[in-house]
Amino acid sequence: MSRSNRIAKGNLSVSRVSLNLSRGGNQLVLSWPTNAVGFTLQSRSDLNSSANWTDSTDSPVIVADQYFVTNSISAAAQFYRLKK
């Protein structure tokens, strides 16, 4: 009599949300869909350091089905992400 191995299968739900960037003059406009509930915009100035990501202090503005945050463009590098 042979025994078979059973592998339990489950559902893994991964949310993928696109963070869109555009430039308007000296402003960086970041946007993402309003159906992306529970995401926070974060930034940091260096990806190679151990510096922490910082939550944005700007409240997103809703236009149609998108959240928008506008930031001034500076000479220093800035990296952005959405975190859930």
Distance in angstroms (rounded) separating the CA atoms of residues 40 and 27:
20
The pTM of this model reads 0.76
Distance in angstroms (rounded) separating the CA atoms of residues 39 and 7:
33
- pLDDT tens profile 57-81: 999 999 999 999 999 988 788 999 9
pLDDT value of position 74:
83
DSSP state of 60: P
Q: Between vectors from CA 40 to CA 34 and to CA 46, what angle results, nearest 5°? A: 130
Q: Where are the domains of the chain?
A: 18-43+55-76
pLDDT value of position 14:
53
pLDDT value of position 66:
97
User: Which stretches of the chain drop beneath a pLDDT of 50?
Assistant: 1-8
Q: What would the two tokens of residue 16 be? A: 């993928």
| Strand ranges of the sheet holding 27-33, from the earlier edge strand across to the other edge | 20-24, 27-33, 66-72, 61-63
